């Protein structure tokens, strides 16, 4: 059985969404982020502390001390996008690549999302989560400026294609949708790219996403 280490309120959400879509047997082993414990005044290295990203047993799986981590029949993967690409290929079916060409395109979009979109998108999410304190407007404006070009690429792509790869919903859509979700709360940005916004809503309307999101919302912050 596939074991996923992490919590819903982390990048593990993209893996949980994929696992729900694929119907693979899996289990979640809770590993909380150390910074969340510290915010509550708990030393993550103290005896009796909840299993967390600084626990010695977890660091043996992930020397970087980051979640999620996937374990499957001795294979350890520590990057969420790579985990999803692996899961989709392992399961086969419509979410995975049908041939080498589709596999290359799925890898391309995962790398594009990670290198060109995720960092500024996260900057928007962090600023919005902080309630736009002093200076946040400038941070959001800078992030929006950095996102204009890659989102224009996606807008053009989605003007000619219904999905990221293969004309159907695949793991490439899960990976990109979860990256873009970080910027979704900035309505003016999303309004500038209506095809991207519409595609994202369709992705998030899927039952597997809604199941994952409900569990994420129910998880303590």
Residue 131 has pLDDT above 80, yes or no: no
d(CA 123, CA 129): 10
Q: Are 81 and 127 within one domain?
A: no
Q: Are 90 and 105 within one domain?
A: no
Q: Quick one: average pLDDT of 11-33?
A: 98
Q: Which of 3, 1, 2, 6 is nearest to 55 (CA)?
A: 6
Q: Are 104 and 191 within one domain?
A: yes
Q: Are 139 and 184 within one domain?
A: yes
Q: What percent of the chain has pLDDT over 70?
A: 98
Q: How many CB atoms lie within 10 A of CB 72?
A: 17
Q: Are 26 and 76 within one domain?
A: yes
Task: Give me the torsion for CA of 53, 55, 59, 64, rounded to 10°.
Answer: 30
Q: Which of 80, 107, 121 is nearest to 170 (CA)?
A: 107
Residue 130, phi then psi, degrees to nearest 5: -80, 0
Q: Are 63 and 149 within one domain?
A: no
Phi-psi region at 38: left, alpha or beta (left = phi > 0; alpha = psi -120 to 50): alpha
Q: Are 56 and 154 within one domain?
A: no
pLDDT of residue 133: 60
* CATH number of the domain within which 37 lies: 3.40.30.10
On average, the pLDDT of the chain sits at 96
Q: Are 80 and 171 within one domain?
A: no
**Who wins on pLDDT, 38 or 135?**
38
Q: Are 116 and 192 within one domain?
A: yes
Q: Quick one: average pLDDT of 73-97?
A: 97
- Domain range for 75 is 2-94
Query: Hey, what are 48's tokens?
Result: 């009796």
Tell me, yes or no, whether 68 lies in a domain. yes
Tell me, yes or no, whether 134 lies in a domain. yes
d(CA 79, CA 76): 10
Q: Are 26 and 114 within one domain?
A: no
Q: Are 203 and 114 within one domain?
A: yes
Domain boundary among 48, 79, 94: 94
Number of structural domains (the chain) is 2
Residue 195 has pLDDT above 90, yes or no: yes
Q: Are 106 and 82 within one domain?
A: no
CA distances from 206 to 8, 18, 89, 182 (A): 17, 11, 20, 18
Contact (CB, 8 A) for 94 and 169: yes
């Amino acid at each position: 059985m596939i074991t996923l280490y992490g919590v819903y309120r982390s990048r593990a959400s993209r893996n949980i969404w994929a696992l729900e879509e694929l119907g693979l047997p899996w289990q979640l082993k809770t590993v909380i982020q150390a910074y969340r414990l510290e915010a509550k005044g708990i030393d993550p290295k103290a005896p009796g502390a909840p299993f967390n990203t600084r626990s010695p047993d977890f660091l043996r799986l992930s020397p970087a001390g980051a979640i999620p981590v996937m374990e499957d029949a001795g294979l350890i993967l520590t990057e969420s996008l790579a985990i999803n690409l692996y899961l989709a290929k392992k399961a086969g079916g419509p979410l995975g690549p049908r041939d080498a060409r589709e596999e290359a395109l799925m890898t391309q979009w995962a790398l594009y999302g990670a290198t060109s979109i995720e960092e500024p998108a996260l900057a928007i999410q962090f600023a919005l989560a902080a309630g736009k304190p002093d200076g946040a407007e400038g941070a959001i404006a800078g992030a929006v400026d950095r996102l204009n070009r890659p989102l224009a690429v996606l807008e053009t792509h989605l003007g000619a294609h219904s999905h990221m790869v293969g004309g159907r919903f695949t793991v490439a859509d899960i990976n990109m949708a979860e990256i873009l979700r970080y910027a979704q709360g900035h309505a003016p940005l999303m309004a500038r790219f209506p095809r991207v916004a519409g595609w994202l809503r369709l992705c998030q309307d899927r039952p597997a996403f809604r199941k994952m999101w409900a569990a994420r919302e129910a998880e303590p912050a």
